[in-house]
Amino acid sequence: MTTTPAALHACRTEVAAQIQAYRDLVGAASKASGMSLARIDAALSVFEPAFFNNLLVTVATRFAEAPARGPAGTEMRLLADALLHRGGVLAADAALPYDPDAAVLRLDVGERVALNAEDVEALCTAFLREVEAQLPA
Angle, CA of 102, 15 and 86, to the nearest 5°: 55
Q: What's the pTM? A: 0.90
- Contacts of residue 12, defined as CB under 8 A and 6 or more positions apart, other chains included, come to 124, 128
The residues spanned by each domain of the chain are 5-133
Enumerate the β-bridge partners of residue 93.
Answer: 96
**pLDDT tens digits in sequence order for the chain, 137 residues long:** 578 999 999 999 999 999 999 999 888 887 775 667 777 888 889 999 999 999 999 999 999 887 667 899 999 999 999 999 999 999 999 999 999 999 999 999 999 999 999 999 999 999 999 999 988 87
3-state DSSP helix/strand/coil % of the chain, to nearest 5:
60, 5, 35
Region at 118 (left for phi over 0; alpha for psi -120 to 50; beta for the rest): alpha
DSSP 107: P
Task: Specify whether the CB–CB gap between 123 and 76 falls below 8 A.
Answer: yes
Tell me the backbone φ, ψ of residue 113, rounded to 5 degrees. -90, 120
